[in-house]
Amino acid sequence: MAVTLADVAARARVSAATVSRVLSGNYPVAEATRARVLAAVDELDYVINGPASALAAATSDLVGVLVNDVADPFFGIMASAVQSELGSEKLAVVCNTGGSPERELTYLTLLLRQRAAAVVITGSAVETPEYAAASAAKVGRLAANGTRVVLLGRPASAAPEGSTFAVEFGNREGGRRLTEHLVSLGHRRIGYVAGPADRTTTRHRLEGHRAALAAHGLGGDADALGRLTVHGPYTRQSGYDGALELLDREPGLTAVVGSNDAVALGICAALREKGLDIPGDVSVAGFDDLPFSADATPALTTVRLPLQEAAARAARLALGREESPAGGRHLVPAELVARASTAAPRA
Amino acid sequence: MAVTLADVAARARVSAATVSRVLSGNYPVAEATRARVLAAVDELDYVINGPASALAAATSDLVGVLVNDVADPFFGIMASAVQSELGSEKLAVVCNTGGSPERELTYLTLLLRQRAAAVVITGSAVETPEYAAASAAKVGRLAANGTRVVLLGRPASAAPEGSTFAVEFGNREGGRRLTEHLVSLGHRRIGYVAGPADRTTTRHRLEGHRAALAAHGLGGDADALGRLTVHGPYTRQSGYDGALELLDREPGLTAVVGSNDAVALGICAALREKGLDIPGDVSVAGFDDLPFSADATPALTTVRLPLQEAAARAARLALGREESPAGGRHLVPAELVARASTAAPRA
DNA sequence: TCTCCTGTAGTAAGCGCTTTCTGCCCCGGG
DNA sequence: CCCGGGGCAGAAAGCGCTTACTACAGGAGA
């Protein structure tokens, strides 16, 4: 990288300052001068030095995107949408946290080090006071540095303020609608394979589920609810194991809800292995409406979360391209998608 | 970010140079001094300034990862594996090129600008001389800048040299094995929904397919082959459309191969819609063995590409952690995975 | 005892930009 | 005809780090 600003300046017979102004575009430059500079840039095949620019301007072109795992479609779709929305203006730094709070903090530190322009944090938060405090501290540090922080699909830990925003998913509402759908079909004993017990998303979806049950007088006592619920990671395997466990505890189940679509698919596999028909013997439902859900056999009833739109909005907030409502919180609605995996229980 | 190296140096009563040396670790520092510096770093909660460091050292902690689209599992899996392999040492900058050569070049320029330590380029290349030239020029420029370039799942455009490596997939071999499997089951008229005509991957998979046919005297003339082949993007929709088209042209088909698993699923959907049983009436096969393929109904026969291992190796090459064989090319073998979507044709 | 290493640490010169502060030039108004 | 002001462009001071190069102990060999 021999060619520097100074070389371009010399060739265009202007000062380095002028070249910088032409390239950054945030200062008026006479048209003739601009053309001369641009020509020189072209002729020399000049590529600006990002780090030098970032150092002088105290901010970089990087936007961090924290996900549990980009290989998981739920996160992959969001990461993709964020990246696409950034265009060629900013670069997306994708970090797999594996859902671990420690790694999340580690990556936030690395992004702080890079003087990232913004950070989009996806995935549910762990609900422990220590984590909340550590997380808030780190976010505060980022904000102090001028980095915009956007929480995507995660509730604002505290009241978001200044340059911190939240795009939240209607998990509670979606969970409620899904269970209402099942109840209205006639189901009374509904199993639930939930996500890890300490995550916000898990809690919200489960709360929606229980709210729907309660609204129809099906809540029962905590013990009964507990017997119908198992927890595990958001994986297919967890659905498989959970379904077997629930079937064992409550042979009379007529429906099982998975905490997400992958879990639901695992539930389906377990039921099928037990010789049960879906939805003839047992109805199954998921959450998220990922692309493969419509293709499954039977097609999965689920709750659609507009991941792309939500992620694109998060990206726009990160870039400061979209105004934020007072309070900085956005709620993205969840929508029931009823398909073939749910039906009325046998009489 | 008020705290700088100088602050740490003052607090530890050493010079800035010493602090830098302790943090970078590439220069001996006495144990007592090191401890003092580390303590100061801790007390001041110092975070190094990435851009400043990158400017002075002329290289950054960024590794570019070019993919068609991270939301596509094929690329998502590779991006995830690369990111994980980088650990917290380097940051992965993921760029969606959408398969467009222009965007690929744009992103390579942006990564050059960032003085990325390495770039991993995934996805098949477009086979036109202009693109090959432009791409080679850009890669050369990156190499000249000290950036390691690793091609993942794409043939080395020219002989890779110096800091350029290639981890290639056994697409030809995989294609051959798959078709041999079908032929050995007794299929004679095999349709093929291929990828875009101008991509290397498409060509290799198709060549493997045709080599297998030729080996069994089923090649026929170019016309016959052409009639059994349609091209389209690597999408489900393309498989759906392609299958209908092929069925129309050649009603006597007993098997259809998709250019990848998504295409194969589309083929399945089209066949089912036509009232055809899989594999009773028509066998279907895909390529890649993505996670959803095993779960499809019927489970898809396909060719497994060890994407994670390949991507991890690419990442190691990018970091300079793994020795490369002479010539810098690695070939990753493809393996046939026979499942329920293929069977002998009806008598 | 003196010199010469070897092992540490400090000095200082940048790395290539951005941006504030100046200053020039030219126009319009008095 | 002279002065004030606006529009552009240059000078130069950093931004915070890395890394020669230099300096200075203290110990070994002569």
Provide the 10 A C-beta neighbour count for residue B275: 7
CA atoms within 13 A on the CB side of B50: 24
Per DSSP, the residues of B243-287 read: HHHHHHH-TT--EEEESSHHHHHHHHHHHHHTT--TTTT-EEE-S
Positions in chain D where some atom is under 7 Å from a protein CB:
7-12, 14-20
> A-B interface: how many C-beta pairs under 8 angstroms?
151
**Residue B88 touches chain A, beta carbons under 8 Å:** yes
Exposed/middle/buried for B253, CB within 10 Å: 0-12, 13-18, 19+?
Answer: buried
The Cα of A110 is separated from the nearest Cα of chain B by a number of Å equal to: 8
B12 closest-nt by C1' vs CA: C9
**Please, which positions of strand C sit below 7 A from a protein CB?**
7-12, 14-20
For chain A positions 283-302, those within 8 Å of chain B (CB to CB) are 292, 295-297
Q: Per-domain residue ranges for chain A?
A: 5-48, 59-169+307-332, 171-304
Residue B232 and residue A73: Cα distance in Å, rounded?
A: 23
Give ∠ CA A12-A18-A22 in degrees, rounded to 5.
90
Outline where chain A has alpha helix (H). 5-12, 16-24, 31-44, 50-57, 73-86, 101-113, 129-144, 171-185, 200-215, 222-227, 236-249, 261-273, 291-295, 307-319
Coil, helix or strand at residue A304: strand
Helix (H) or strand (E) holding B311: helix B307-319
Any bridge partners for residue B332, and if so which?
A: B169
Q: pLDDT tier at B160 (50, 70, 90 boundaries)?
A: low
For residue B269, the number of C-alpha atoms closer than 13 Å in the C-beta half-sphere is: 20
**Nearest nucleotide relative to A29: CA against C1':** D8
The label of the residue with tokens 């350029």 reads: B164
pLDDT surpassing 90 at residue B325: no
Distance from C-alpha of A290 to C-alpha of B51, rounded to nearest angstrom: 38
pLDDT at A172: 97
The answer for residues whose C-beta is within 8 angstroms of residue B150's C-beta and 6 or more apart is B118, B119, B120, B121, B164, B165, B166, B167, B314, B315, B317, B318
List the CATH code of the domain at A5-48.
1.10.260.40
Per CB-CB distance under 8 Å, the chain A contacts of B95 are 83, 91-92
Pairing of the two strands B164-169 and B329-332: parallel
The CATH number fitting domain A59-169+307-332, selected from 2.170.190.11, 3.40.50.300, 3.30.210.10, 3.40.50.2300:
3.40.50.2300
- Provide the pLDDT confidence category of residue A221 given band limits of 50, 70 and 90: confident
User: What is the reported pTM?
Assistant: 0.95
Q: Does any CB of chain A come closer than 8 Å to the CB of residue B23?
A: no
Interface subset of B 124-183, CB within 8 angstroms of A = 144-145
- Rounded to an integer, the average pLDDT of A196-223 is 93
Residues 15-74 of chain A sitting with CB below 7 angstroms of strand C: 16-17, 20-21, 23-24, 26-27, 46, 48-49, 52-53, 55-57
d(CA B164, CA B103): 21
Q: Let me know: does B135 contact B66? Beta carbons within 8 Å.
A: no
Q: Is the CB of B29 under 7 A from strand C?
A: yes
- The answer to whether residue A230 scores a pLDDT higher than 80 is yes
Q: Which residues contact B101 (CB under 8 A, 6 or more apart)?
A: B126, B131, B134, B135
Determine the 3-state secondary structure of B301 from DSSP: strand
Interface test with A, best of B114, B120, B284, B290 (most A CBs within 10 A): B114
- What is the average per-residue pLDDT within A289-306? 94
Closest residue to B80, CB basis, from A49, A71, A265 = A71
β-bridge mates for residue A148, sequence order: A118
Is the pLDDT reported for residue A248 higher than 80? Answer: yes
What per-residue confidence (pLDDT) applies to B1?
59
Letter string b/e over residues A184-210, b meaning 16 or more CB atoms within 10 A of that residue's CB:
ebebebbbbbbbbeebbbbbbbbebbb
Under the banding of pLDDT at 50, 70 and 90, the label for residue B161 is: low
* pLDDT tens sequence across A46-95: 999 999 999 999 999 999 999 999 999 999 999 999 999 999 989 999 99
Q: Which pLDDT value is given to residue B327?
A: 76
CATH topology assigned to domain A171-304:
Rossmann fold (3.40.50)
In angstroms, the CA B280 to CA A116 distance is: 56
Q: Residues B205-223: what's their mean pLDDT?
A: 92
* Cβ <8 Å between A93 and B88: no
Which residues share a beta bridge with A191?
A256
Render pLDDT for B31-60 as a digit per residue (tens, 0 to 9): 999 999 999 999 999 999 999 999 999 999
Pairing verdict, β B118-122 and B62-67: parallel
pLDDT of B286 reads 98
Distance from CA of A59 to the nearest CA of B (A): 9
Q: CB–CB of A50 and B115 under 8 A? A: yes
Please report where in the chains the tokens 């466990």 appear, as a residue: A245
More confident residue, B324 or A306: A306
Taking alpha carbons only, the member of B301, B61, B323, B319 closest to residue B184 is B301
Please check whether the two domains, B5-48 and B171-304, share a CATH topology. Answer: no
Q: Helix B31-44 and helix B16-24: axis angle, to 10°?
A: 90
Q: Is the CB of A347 under 7 A from strand C?
A: no
* A292, A251 contact by CB (below 8 A): no
Strand, coil or helix: B314:
helix
SS (H, E, C) B11-22: HHCCCHHHHHHH
| Strand D contacted by B10 CB (< 7 A) | no
Residue with tokens 């970078």: B24
Residue type, A98: G
What's the whole-number mean pLDDT along residues A125-132?
Answer: 90
Closest partner residue to B71 (CB to CB) among A62, A80, A144 is A80
pLDDT tens by residue, A148-198? 999 999 988 655 567 889 999 999 999 999 999 999 999 999 999 999 999
Residue A251 token pair = 């042979």
Answer whether residue B158 shows pLDDT above 80.
no
DSSP state, residue B25: -
Residue B66 in contact with residue B98, Cβ under 8 Å?
Answer: no
Predicted confidence (pLDDT) at residue B108 exceeds the cutoff of 70:
yes
* B49 CB below 7 A from strand D atoms: yes
pLDDT band at A219 (very low <50, low <70, confident <90, very high): confident
DSSP codes of every residue in A106-135: HHHHHHHHTT-SEEEEESPPB--HHHHHHH
